[in-house]
Structure 1
């Protein structure tokens, strides 16, 4: 039996208005995933760096949302005052986000919405919970999901809480940036507390695994078409279909979802 391997990988044009991360894949990504984020943990994780050159067959689609990191900071002299000002501004931002069609979220990779019902769990240090700080959580839960409580810190002069603003991506990346910028400006200062945007925008996708069947169909059609050039005496072997869904940002607003497959023609 003679096999003729096919190279299933090819180049994609990239646009550099916002930074792109290497492709990532996960065995189970049921939540909303930040496309351009990477896990920094050294623990074993189903999420790994994928090939820098994805297969030519996959699904290109517009991302679901755009997110940008923000910080709420206060440099009031008294620690209790700093915490109260940051807390008040956070709650105001939560209310305004709900009213204006935004979401405040935490998580480096998989996003969790911050609400009035759960903000104390997301920021235990800000809530003043005893023996509950983000640093302790990071040490105790290295292998936990990235939806762990987000960062709150007070260095003795400045209190800072970090989270993200998310908006639905229904137009250009510039439009999303303007909307998030307008939201940040709409949150009034509280005492010496202010809200500040940090870094650029990142894209998100909701539940990449939901696209598996469509990607399977496209791979099958591509493989069948390639096999048609060799006649009825040739067969087809496809590999890699049991791997996780991978994704890569391919433009300012689009992501490419794929499975790292391969196929070969045999006689």
Structure 2
């Protein structure tokens, strides 16, 4: 069984891991693994990096109930296009995706899927509104900006836009924080091992896993590796 000297070996491991391709992921309260700040879930490692999320995220739906199917769909997509054109003026960005997020643009909005709305002659599509969480911005400010934008998008025919669910968060490329998290684990492991004397070392597992996340507060997330270490006598 290999015993890893906490600071040296873990730092070398961190340097050898190639970063994952950049992506933006959605963090929801239901994925939270912490009971801090009112978010309930299963336990997460004690060693976490807590930081402000990159964006506040609000899912919205555009629903149309014009009886003629071709006209109904034309109105829905026209309203999506209008939302895209209005976004920059109101300090928001639009995106699509349930888990991994990508920008919603004039080039791809036609790829949005329509689904039945549970009523005759009614269909809907959905996407997300993003507000960059700038320093000092709280959840209320983000929600206010989203609300102003929704109000600013004019109805098209019988198509209407409305919020769907609660505001959540997104993080850009969580794996960019891998090295920082490993350094935190290494420092904690080294400090703990030192308390047992020079005859002890540390075995660490789980550093080869992707960075995971959960919601920490209305605007913050926990980023962590599912790692654990054991203090053992040195060979």
With the shorter chain as reference, the TM-score category is: 0.7 to 0.9
> What do residues 101-140 of structure 1 show as CA deviations (whole Å, max 9, x unaligned)?
21211111001111111112x22xxxxxxxxxxxxxxxxx
- After the TM superposition, list the runs of 4 or more consecutive aligned residues in structure 1 that deviate by more than 3 angstroms: none
Conserved 8 A contact 1:38-1:108: no
Partner of 1:32: 24
Partner of 2:104: 114
| Aligned pairs (5 A) from 1:234-253 | 234-253=200-219
Which structure carries more helix by proportion?
2
Separation (CA, whole Å) in 2 of partners of 1:67 and 1:29: 22
> What do residues 160-206 of structure 1 show as CA deviations (whole Å, max 9, x unaligned)?
11111111122111111111111000001112111111110111100
Separation (CA, whole Å) in 2 of partners of 1:181 and 1:29: 33
Partner of 1:172: 138
**Partner SS for 1:214:** helix
Conserved 8 A contact 1:38-1:109: no
| Aligned pairs (5 A) from 1:30-69 | 30-36=22-28, 52-69=42-59
- Whether 1:160 aligns to 2:124 is yes
**Partner SS for 2:164:** strand
Per the TM alignment, residue 37 of structure 1 is displaced from its structure 2 partner at its CA by: 7.7
In the superposition, the TM-score normalised over structure 2's length comes to 0.80
Per the TM alignment, residue 100 of structure 1 is displaced from its structure 2 partner at its CA by: 2.6
One of 79, 84, 87 as aligned partner of 2:77 = 87
Per the TM alignment, residue 38 of structure 1 is displaced from its structure 2 partner at its CA by: 7.7
Conserved 8 A contact 1:62-1:254: yes
Partner of 2:61: 71
Separation (CA, whole Å) in 2 of partners of 1:38 and 1:28: 24
> Would you say how many aligned residue pairs link Structure 1 and Structure 2?
204
Conserved 8 A contact 1:102-1:167: yes
**Partner SS for 2:157:** coil
Separation (CA, whole Å) in 2 of partners of 1:90 and 1:240: 43
